[in-house]
Structure 1
Amino acid sequence: IMKVASGGELARFLLALKVALADRGSAPTLVFDEIDTAVGGAVADAIGARLSRLSGRVQVLSVTHAPQVAARALSHLLVAKNATKGGNAVLTSVVALDDKKRREEIARMLAGATVTDEARAAADRLILGAA
């Protein structure tokens, strides 16, 4: 399988396997790093649904750029990297988002730099649909 599957396909195969085997014992925390890379919205939504189902059995941490996945999370951490003043180093920050900031971040994930009312409405639909 390693010779014919892409990295994303392998990651999604691993997710399916972990969901299927979660009842038989698993690590208490599973980390998925951009498991939704190079997929469309419907597939990202399906990945989010499986991660959500898996989180009922173990703690799941997922790094994602897909709003469909982020909308299914029980909590949302925003990770940001910024250059220091001298530009010699990069500072990484992690902030837990409340519901209002989470909605705004998912809207930003949908819209890009300029968040519109339409993006906020779409974020609301994603969050409500995932509940």
Structure 2
Amino acid sequence: LPRSLRILRGTMKGDTAEALGQVAAALLQLEAAFENCSKGKRFFGGDNVGYLDIILGSFIGWIQASEKILNIKLLDEAKVPLLVAWADRFCAHDAVKEVMPEVDKLIEFGKLLQALLNANQAH
């Protein structure tokens, strides 16, 4: 998933269509995993945010940045409704909402990183 997201954001070379397919497939697997793990509760581990929520939640901002850059919807309610609802709950949680990075700032950061990588490769 991380490699595919970097390709989609344009910070890594690769086949965009293939990366998009990989992200879509990974999100479908996460949808099934959420349904299985949560057993109808709000988060992967139950009623409260747990380690798995934090690990997977760290990708939400980058997924949203990729959506904005490419003008596409990866977290699509029609395809992964449980995952979309989980992401909304996770981002709104008191322990998360103050530390979740803004999408535009992530995009700026990604562009800065890419510029630094390009400069290092040129030398």
Q: TM-score, normalised by structure 1?
A: 0.30
Identify the structure with the greater helix proportion.
2
Q: Quick check: which has more Rg, 1 or 2?
A: 1
Bigger relative contact order, structure 1 or 2 (CA pairs below 8 A, ≥6 apart): 2
Identify the structure with the greater strand proportion.
1
Q: TM-score, normalised by structure 2?
A: 0.32
